Amino acid sequence: MPRPKLVSAPLESDIDEAYARKARAERLERFLTNDEVFHRCACFGIDRNQFDTWSAKFVDAASKNKIERLKPANLLSVLARGGMETFDDFIVNQFFAYLAKEAPDVVKNTKFLREITDLRFPNEWSPDARKVQRRIIMHVGPTNSGKTHNALQRMRASKSGIYCSPLRLLAHEVYSRLLADGIPCVLITGEDRRMPDFAELGIEPSGYTVTGRPISKMVSCTVEMAPNVHCHVAVIDEIQMIADRSRGWAWTYALLNMRADEIHLCGEPSAVPLVKRICASLDEEVEVHEYSRLGKLEVSPDSLEGKWSNVQKGDCVVAFSRKDIFHIKSMIEEATGLRCAVIYGGLPPETRAEQARLFNDPDSGYDVLVASDAVGMGINLTINRVVFTTLSKWDGNMTRPISVSQTRQIGGRAGRHNSGVDGGKVTTLVASDIKNLDKAMGLQPHQLRVAGLKPPAEVIEVFSRQFPKVPFSQLWSMFRDIANVSDDYFLCNFRDQEAIATAIGHLGLSIKDMYQFIYAPINCRDEIVKDCLVVCATAVARKTECKAASAIRLPRSKPKSRKQLLAFEQWHRAITMYLWLTFHFPETFTQYDEALVLKSQCEDIIKAGLLLSDSPDKPKHSSYSLENTHNAESGDTSGSGENKSKEPKEYVMRLEAKLESLNKLRKMIEVS
C-alpha cells in the first residue's frame, strides 16, 4: 500500500519528531529520483553512475539515523524555518558532507572546496568586537510589554548609542523622537542618510571631528546598515528575526560585530537559548529581563460569522495579499458604511505611516484598518480588535499556516498600552478558524535553534575562482550545496540573490560588483523593478553615469485602477533601489537629490491612488477568495468565486470543506 503523502504545510505546533520522520522519508525518496538534484550534483563533476551509487548509500544511512544532522530531532528547526524547499536544500548539502567523509574522491578537490566554504566559526569573523568587554542584556516578552521602550530609555541616557531596527519605518520613528526631545541623532538606512540640522533644531553636537564636522550622539538605523563604530549602548530590536530565512544574517552579524559596551536585545523569549549559545562561543554571558504584557488581550469566542457587516469601528482586519486587502476594503465599506485605511508591505513606508495616522485619528473619518502582516511590527496603532480573515499565507512557493510567532505578534497589536483602548480582542472571519487561533495565541513560539548567515564577499570571490566558467547565479546554488555550517547556524535563502544574478549575469560585472547588486533591496518578481535593475547594472558594467531620469520613468497619467496603482508601487521600489545604489556606486549613480524628488512625487501619487473607489480591474465576482493568495508584497494574486452578494458565504463553505479535507489527510498520516 503506497504511503500517504504528507500535508506539505502543517501547523507549526504539528511539527514534531513523528512528522519529521515522515517528511524525511518522503523527501529522501524524492532526492533519489529528482533530475534537478542530479543536475546540481553534476555541477561538481558527479556522473550518473556515481550519483546512483552514493545517493542510495546516503539515503540508506540517513534512514537508519546514521547521519546526525538528519535525525528527526535535528530536523525540526529546518522544517519550521522554511518548509519542504528548505528541507530539500538541506538534504543536498548533507549529501555533499556525506561524500566528503565517505567518498572524498567523487568530487574533485572536495576537501579544498569544503575548506573555502567553511562557515562553522562566525564568532571568529569579528576580532575588533572581541576586544570590547561587552555586556549583553536581553529584554524578552510579548507584543506591547514595554521591552523595547526600556531598552531605548537606557540608550537615551548613555553618552552614545545605536538603535538597530527591523524596518526603515521604525528607524525613522526613533530618529524623529530623539530629535524632538533634543537629542542629536543620525538616520542610516539602505537608501537614506540624514544628519540633524543642529542650528535649526537648536541642538548642540556631541563634538566635532578633526575636519570640523559635527558629531551626533545617537544613530538610528536598519539592522543591515549598523555602522561599525564603538558606542556605549546598542539596541537590536526583534532579535528573534535572527532565525529569519532571508534576513536572519543581519541580526547575526549585528550580534557578533557590534562594538558596544552594552548590547540590549529586544524580542521574543524563543530567542534566549540560541543567543546564550552564540554568546557562550564568544565567552560572553547574557542577562535576561522578562516582561509581561501591559493591558489585557483575549481571543473572542465569537467570529464575524463570515459577515463583513459585523466589522466595527477600531477593527484591524488582516489579510495576506494586496488584492484581497482592496477587495475586503470595498466589501466592508459597502456593508457597514465605515471608511477603511489600508496598510500592506508593498506601500512605501511613508504611505504606511500616513495610513496609520488616519486610522489612529478619531476625527479623520477612517474607522477601520485593512492590513497585511506589515502591521505586526514598527507601527503604533490604536486597535480595539484584530480580525484574521485567514490563518494561512502564500510564502512564494505554497500556502502555509502563519507561525505562532506571527499570529501572536499580529494579534498582540490589539489593545496597545497607553492607546486609550481598554484591553484588546482577537478573532477570525469564520468560526472554523477560532480553535486554531486560540491555540496559537496560547502557545509560546518554538525555541529558535539556528541563526542565519550569509557568506562574506571574499569567500564568494575565492569560491568563484574554482569555477570560472560557471554563471554567478549558478554559483550561489553550488555554494549553498557544499558549504559547511555548524549546528547553531544556517545559510539564509539565496533565491532572491539567484534571481537578481540571473537577471544581470550576462552583463559582465565583476564578482565584487555582482555581490553588491545581489543584496540590493529588491524583488525580481516586480517586472518594473527588474527592468530598472538591468538598466542600472548595465551602467555599472559600462562604467557610465546613470541619471535618475534614465532609470526611473514614472507614467505621466495618474492611476485610475488598482492595477495602475500597483505599477506606481513598483516604481517607488525602483526609486528606492536607485537611492540605495547611490551609496554603493556613487560614481555611477550621481543624482540622489533628483531621485528624492521622484520618490516624493511617486508617494503623493500613491497616496491619491489609495482614495480610488471601486476600480475597473476589480474582480468580476464579489465573493471573497483566498484560495490563490500570494505574498502581500508582490500583489500577484487572483480571486475567484460565484457569489455576488456582499457577504462571503461561498468562501466560508469552501474554506470549511478545505479544512475538513486537511483534517482527513492528517488522520491518514497518523494511522499510517
pLDDT at 202: 76
What is the percent of the chain where pLDDT is above 90? Answer: 69
Higher-pLDDT residue of 205 and 147 is 147
Q: Which residues contact 438 (CB under 8 A, 6 or more apart)?
A: 299
Residue 214's DSSP bridge partners are 208
Q: Which residue is listed with cell 526613533?
A: 174
Q: What is the mean pLDDT of residues 201-213?
A: 76
Q: What is the largest CA-CA distance in the chain?
A: 79
pLDDT at 418: 62
pLDDT at 556 > cutoff 60: yes
CA distances 48 to 35, 43, 105, 108, 474, Å, are 10, 12, 15, 15, 20
pLDDT bracket for residue 407 (50, 70, 90)? very high
Half-sphere exposure of 646 (CA within 13 A, CB side): 13
pLDDT at 444 > cutoff 90: no
Mean pLDDT for all residues in the chain = 87
Give the H/E segment covering residue 260.
strand 260-267
Task: Please state, in angstroms and rounded to a whole number, the distance separating the CA atoms of residues 245 and 395.
Answer: 12
Query: Which DSSP letter does residue 34 get?
Result: -
C-alpha cell at 205: 553636537
First to last CA, the chain: 10
Of the candidate ranges 12-21, 300-309, 503-512, 589-598, the one whose mean pLDDT is the lowest: 12-21
Residue 386's DSSP bridge partners are 316, 426
Task: Please state, in angstroms and rounded to a whole number, the distance separating the CA atoms of residues 643 and 623.
Answer: 5
pLDDT at 212 > cutoff 90: no
Of the candidate ranges 203-217, 257-271, 354-368, 434-448, the one whose mean pLDDT is the lowest: 203-217
pLDDT at 494: 82
pLDDT at 369 > cutoff 60: yes
Task: Please state, in angstroms and rounded to a whole number, the distance separating the CA atoms of residues 481 and 495.
Answer: 13
Tens digit of pLDDT for each residue in 35-59?
Answer: 999 999 999 999 999 999 999 999 9
Task: Please state, in angstroms and rounded to a whole number, the distance separating the CA atoms of residues 181 and 53.
Answer: 68
pLDDT at 199: 77
Q: Are 327 and 619 in contact (CB under 8 A)?
A: yes
Residues in the chain: 672
Q: What is the mean pLDDT of residues 457-484?
A: 92
The beta-strand segments (E) located in 416-509 are 424-428, 451-453, 489-491
Of the candidate ranges 89-93, 112-116, 169-173, 394-398, the one whose mean pLDDT is the lowest: 394-398
pLDDT at 424 > cutoff 60: yes
Closest CA to 551 of 516, 512, 590: 590
Task: Please state, in angstroms and rounded to a whole number, the distance separating the CA atoms of residues 365 and 530.
Answer: 38
pLDDT at 210 > cutoff 70: yes
pLDDT at 617: 44
Q: Give 213-235 as a DSSP string.
A: -EE-SEEEEEGGG--S--EEEEE
pLDDT bracket for residue 134 (50, 70, 90)? very high
pLDDT at 178: 93
pLDDT at 574: 96
pLDDT at 646 > cutoff 50: no
Prediction pTM value: 0.86
pLDDT at 510: 93
Of the candidate ranges 314-323, 594-603, 612-621, the one whose mean pLDDT is the lowest: 612-621
Of the candidate ranges 135-139, 617-621, 624-628, the one whose mean pLDDT is the lowest: 624-628
H-assigned helices in 110-207 = 110-116, 127-130, 147-156, 168-180, 198-201
**φ, ψ of residue 454 in degrees (nearest 5):** -125, 145
pLDDT at 122: 94
* Cβ neighbourhood burial of 153 (10 Å; 0-12, 13-18, 19+): exposed
pLDDT at 654: 47
pLDDT at 283: 95
